[in-house]
């Protein structure tokens, strides 16, 4: 049976961040937490969704930076150009 939920510590190890960051992501609604008794668990599907959103955000940021760089390069005065 595949694991469907992880402890906060396991989630932090999985994502390579500290437990404080995991709690901040939970508070921000980026990760979904469930409680079973006194244990706080993060659903595996929530972790997967967060990682996928992060990939999309990173790709979009890279595309925006590339577009901005191209516009700045196009706006540069050409050497030898007269005014």
Query: pLDDT tens across 39-59, in order?
Result: 999 999 999 999 988 887 777
Q: Which residue has the higher pLDDT, 20 or 67?
A: 20
Q: How many CA atoms lie within 13 A of 29 on its CB side?
A: 0
pLDDT tens profile 4-35: 999 999 999 999 999 999 999 999 999 999 99
* pLDDT > 60? residue 83: no
User: What 3-state DSSP class applies to 66?
Assistant: helix
Q: What are the E-state strand segments in 1-83?
A: 5-7, 33-36, 39-43
Q: Please check the confidence at residue 69 and state whether its pLDDT lies above 70.
A: yes
Residue ranges of domains in the chain, CATH in brackets:
5-75 (1.10.10)
Of residues 68 and 16, more confidently modeled: 16
**Strand, helix or coil for residue 6:** strand
């Amino acid at each position: 049976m595949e694991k469907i939920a992880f402890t906060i510590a396991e989630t932090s190890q999985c994502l390579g961040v500290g437990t404080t960051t995991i709690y901040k992501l939970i508070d921000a609604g980026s990760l979904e937490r469930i409680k079973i008794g006194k244990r706080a668990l993060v659903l595996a599907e929530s972790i997967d969704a967060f990682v996928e959103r992060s990939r999309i955000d990173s790709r979009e940021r890279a595309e925006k930076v590339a577009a901005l760089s191209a516009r700045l390069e196009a706006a540069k005065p050409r050497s030898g150009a007269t005014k």
